[in-house]
């Protein structure tokens, strides 16, 4: 967060939601009209890129050299990543997934969930693995490039994390209307599975924000951890019931992180002199 720059979170999120929703709702309509040619992806991909593109515009149109230098440094400097954070970085999501499957066995879940998945849980005209990479990249370039700092300029880390996570969850809303999307499929399987998807994003958002801050706000770290989340969700034959259990596990993990790092989450020191 740059102290000599006045962040504009309301403008940022308003523009991000407006552009993304316009593109994705249009893409949803086209996905049912011309799904064989995949033309809807021409609308979906720009929507995915929107958080990053708006961040880019706001950073480089700011005329603030410190903001620009900070953005570039956090984007290209791998030394920001802290070695002591690597265990948490690598293990949080895989262990959360495995724990959730173990817990599901107590409720009649199948042990076959430990098998490697035969394919991805969604399909489309863009390869699924590419979507996982692009989602992690373009989202975090935007969320960590400008969005989260804009919230943290007004709130302590706890409030900024919660507000960001709720907004991030709502940002995905149009995807439930897109033919063949993961969100569309689980909505039509059971509405509560779709509700769980949106709820699960909130603890995930808190955890990603914590990982990013603990790695000196490295955008690279956020992108890599986001990708680990995505691939962990797709790696095993985990059922939707187990994913509901996983949401509870992630809430517990986020709560433990907040309790352990309470001073950082509730500190207001960074707000001193940051408001105009």
Provide the residue count of the chain.
Answer: 276
Residues of the chain falling short of pLDDT 50: 273-276
Lookup result for tokens 């691939």: 231
Q: Quote the pLDDT of residue 131.
A: 79
Asked whether the beta carbons of 174 and 26 are under 8 A apart, the reply is no
Q: Quote the pLDDT of residue 130.
A: 77
Q: Quote the pLDDT of residue 268.
A: 84
CA nearest neighbour of 210 among 231, 232, 226, 198: 226
- List, for residues 120-152, the tens digit of each pLDDT value: 755 555 566 777 888 899 999 999 999 999 999
Asked whether the beta carbons of 32 and 179 are under 8 A apart, the reply is yes
Sequence-distant (6+) residues with CB within 8 A of 235 are 94, 97, 116, 117
Any idea of the CA torsion for 92, 190, 40, 47, to the nearest 10 degrees?
-40
Per-residue 3-state assignment (H helix, E strand, C coil) for 115-162: CECCCCCCCCCCCHHHHHHHHHHHHHHHHHHHHHHHHHCCCCHHHHHH
Q: Quote the pLDDT of residue 39.
A: 85
Distance separating alpha carbons of residues 275 and 4, to the nearest angstrom: 9
Q: Quote the pLDDT of residue 158.
A: 97
Asked whether the beta carbons of 165 and 78 are under 8 A apart, the reply is no
Residue positions annotated with a catalytic role = 139, 172
CA nearest neighbour of 60 among 141, 157, 138, 134: 141
Q: Quote the pLDDT of residue 2.
A: 85
Quick one: tokens of 66?
């410190």
Q: Quote the pLDDT of residue 193.
A: 97
Distance separating alpha carbons of residues 112 and 232, to the nearest angstrom: 16
Quick one: tokens of 90?
């690598």
Asked whether the beta carbons of 97 and 89 are under 8 A apart, the reply is no
CB atoms within 10 A of CB 114: 14
Q: Quote the pLDDT of residue 180.
A: 84
CA 70 to chain centre: 21
């Amino acid at each position: 967060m740059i102290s000599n720059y006045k962040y504009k979170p309301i403008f940022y999120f308003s523009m991000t939601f407006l552009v993304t929703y316009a593109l994705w709702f249009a893409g949803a309509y086209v996905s049912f009209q011309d799904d064989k040619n995949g033309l809807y992806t021409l609308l979906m991909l720009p929507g995915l890129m929107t958080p990053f593109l708006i961040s880019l515009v706001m950073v480089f149109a700011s005329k603030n050299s410190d903001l620009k230098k900070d953005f570039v440094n956090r984007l290209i400097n791998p030394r920001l990543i802290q070695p002591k954070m690597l265990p948490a970085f690598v293990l949080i999501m895989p262990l959360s997934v495995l724990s959730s499957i173990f817990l599901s066995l107590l409720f009649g879940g199948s042990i076959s969930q430990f098998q490697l998945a035969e394919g991805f849980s969604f399909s489309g005209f863009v390869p699924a693995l590419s979507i996982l990479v692009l989602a992690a990249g373009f989202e975090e370039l935007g969320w960590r490039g400008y969005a989260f700092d804009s919230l943290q300029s007004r709130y302590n880390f706890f409030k900024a994390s919660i507000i960001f996570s709720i907004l991030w969850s709502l940002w995905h809303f149009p995807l439930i209307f897109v033919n063949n999307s993961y969100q569309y499929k689980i909505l039509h399987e059971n509405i509560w599975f779709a509700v769980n998807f949106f709820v699960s994003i909130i603890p995930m958002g808190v955890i990603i924000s914590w990982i990013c801050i603990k790695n000196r706000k490295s955008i690279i770290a956020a992108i890599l951890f986001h990708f680990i989340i995505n691939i962990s969700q797709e790696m095993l034959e985990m059922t939707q019931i187990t994913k509901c259990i996983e949401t509870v596990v992630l809430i517990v993990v986020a709560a433990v992180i907040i309790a352990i790092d309470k001073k950082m989450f509730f500190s207001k020191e960074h707000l001193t002199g940051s408001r105009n």
